[in-house]
Amino acid sequence: MLRCIECGREYPEDEVRYRCDCGGLLEVVIDLDKVENVFDGKNITLWKYKSFIPVEKRVSLNEGGTPLYRLENLQKELEMRELYVKNEGANPTGSFKDRGMTVGVSKALELGMDKVICASTGNTSASLAAYSAKAGIRSYVLVPSGKIALGKLAQAIVYGAKVVPIRGNFDDALRVVVEASRELGVYMLNSINPFRLEGQKTIAFEVFDQLGFVPNNVILPVGNAGNISAIWKGFKELYEAGFIDKLPRMIGIQAEGASPLAKAWKERREFKPEEKPETVATAIRIGNPANWKKAWKAVEESGGSLESVSDEEILKAQKLLASKEGIFVEPASASSLAGLIKLKELSLIEPDESYVLITTGHGLKDPNIIIENFKLPEPIEPSLEAFKEVL
């Protein structure tokens, strides 16, 4: 059953529908009497949690089961007790979007749809293209022209999506996609599609399964705001099913140039979209987060917060995570660490608590950002002498 988060109206799951007639966002209601307690720390993959996932069909590339690392070095440096990274870059196409797409594309098949569409800052298009290829259906992706990282574009192309660049940003692309899905009978797999979030909520299941306990805090980047909503839903389902007895705080981080939610939160005012979002973290370059109401609830209910970080802080955190821990993530993903560092400096976090940072996408998605900011030395003669000189 689908339920509107605004008015509570319910709809069946077998109709193609993205919003309530009142305009509100929908969420899938799971029958928690039927879920299985499989949280034994073993054989972790997304589909281990199938009793929580509302589809029968399964288009899978073996997503999930991503590593959870203890950040031994950074923990010491930041004088914190317990710091972890859940590295979602280890998914089949290199981002957490695969969790949403394995469920979303499976749902498309169940609904009998043979064409799917999304607007994307890059990773959604790469993921949708891959899962559509696997399912043997057609995919269309609309991306902001010139503002999509090289690796992501290459992925969407090679997996065989019809890639359409638009003159505009992500928010413009999403507007067109919403209209196209209505008029042209293609299934929309942006994160306002509630089935996407049903896959993404498994991040919460895996964190609990891997740690064996619920961390005090989860920190992650926020763009269109689906993922923070999804992870919160996952933890709440665990709680309501009686498998855990406490919940984490959800802490969302936005890039300063694209931070409508963090601004509204910090200034304690109404949410207002941002007209011209800009940041190096292209995956979260979004001015009008479609899921903002769900995200706001997640932060409020969990006792969490929203913060923003500058591009400079993001790039510094990216370098730090790679050079101190061997984990290379794309800029958007590094905003979780940048956010932690900023909150620490503002004395807004408890160093004695446990923190899990979600790093959402792989660093190789966007190699340019590194190369452009680094100057290789001049080539040397191929001799040991010359090599010794540069050491």
Ligand X SMILES: *Cc1c(COP(=O)(O)O)cnc(C)c1O
Residues that bind ligand X (CB under 6 A): 95, 97, 123, 191, 221-227, 283-284, 330, 332-333, 360-361
Measured CA to CA, the distance from residue 149 to residue 210 in angstroms comes to 31
Cα angle 56, 62, 68; round to 5: 115
Contact flag: residue 293 with Zn ion (CB under 5 A): no
Three-class secondary structure assignment of the chain? CEEECCCCCEECCCCCCCECCCCCEEEECCCCCCCCCCCCCCCCCHHHHHHHCCCCCCCCCCCCCCCEEECHHHHHHCCCCEEEEEEHHHCCCCECHHHHHHHHHHHHHHCCCCEEEEECCCHHHHHHHHHHHHHCCEEEEEEECCCCCHHHHHHHHHCCCEEEEECCCHHHHHHHHHHHHHHHCCEECCCCCHHHHHHHCHHHHHHHHHHCCCCCEEEEECCCCHHHHHHHHHHHHHHHCCCCCCCCEEEEEEEHHHCHHHHHHHCCCCCCCCCCCCCCCHHHCCCCCCCHHHHHHHHHHHCCEEEEECHHHHHHHHHHHHHHHCCCECHHHHHHHHHHHHHHHCCCCCCCCEEEEEECEEHHHCCHHHHCCCCCCCCCCCCHHHHHHHC
Chosen from ligand X, Zn ion, none, partner binding at 83 (C-beta under 5 to 8 Å by type): none
Cβ-based nearer residue to Zn ion, 86 or 294: 294
1, 7, 380, 386: which one binds Zn ion (CB under 5 A): 7
Contact flag: residue 386 with Zn ion (CB under 5 A): no
Chosen from ligand X, Zn ion, none, partner binding at 155 (C-beta under 5 to 8 Å by type): none
Cβ of residue 91: shortest distance to ligand X, in angstroms? 10
Which neighbouring-strand residues pair with 119?
Answer: 142
Contact flag: residue 6 with Zn ion (CB under 5 A): yes
Chosen from Zn ion, ligand X, none, partner binding at 97 (C-beta under 5 to 8 Å by type): ligand X
Closest CA to 285 of 189, 174, 161: 174
Stretch that binds Zn ion, among 17-25, 35-43, 105-113, 213-221 (CB under 5 A): 17-25
Cβ of residue 1: shortest distance to Zn ion, in angstroms? 14
Stretch that binds Zn ion, among 4-12, 65-73, 102-110, 266-274 (CB under 5 A): 4-12
Distances (CA, A) of 125 to 65, 78, 257: 22, 36, 23
Cβ-based nearer residue to ligand X, 223 or 260: 223
Residue nearest to ligand X (CB): 361
Cβ of residue 233: shortest distance to Zn ion, in angstroms? 18
Contact flag: residue 20 with Zn ion (CB under 5 A): yes
Cβ of residue 90: shortest distance to ligand X, in angstroms? 13
Cβ of residue 233: shortest distance to ligand X, in angstroms? 12
Chosen from ligand X, Zn ion, none, partner binding at 7 (C-beta under 5 to 8 Å by type): Zn ion
Chosen from ligand X, Zn ion, none, partner binding at 24 (C-beta under 5 to 8 Å by type): Zn ion
Chosen from Zn ion, ligand X, none, partner binding at 227 (C-beta under 5 to 8 Å by type): ligand X
Cβ of residue 269: shortest distance to Zn ion, in angstroms? 24
Contact flag: residue 1 with Zn ion (CB under 5 A): no
Which neighbouring-strand residues pair with 70?
Answer: 84
Chosen from Zn ion, ligand X, none, partner binding at 9 (C-beta under 5 to 8 Å by type): Zn ion
Contact flag: residue 380 with Zn ion (CB under 5 A): no
Cβ of residue 112: shortest distance to ligand X, in angstroms? 27
Contact flag: residue 24 with Zn ion (CB under 5 A): yes
Chosen from Zn ion, ligand X, none, partner binding at 339 (C-beta under 5 to 8 Å by type): none
Cβ of residue 86: shortest distance to ligand X, in angstroms? 13
Cβ of residue 298: shortest distance to ligand X, in angstroms? 11
Closest CA to 358 of 125, 122, 70, 84: 84
Residues binding Zn ion (CB under 5 A)? 4, 6-7, 9, 20, 22, 24
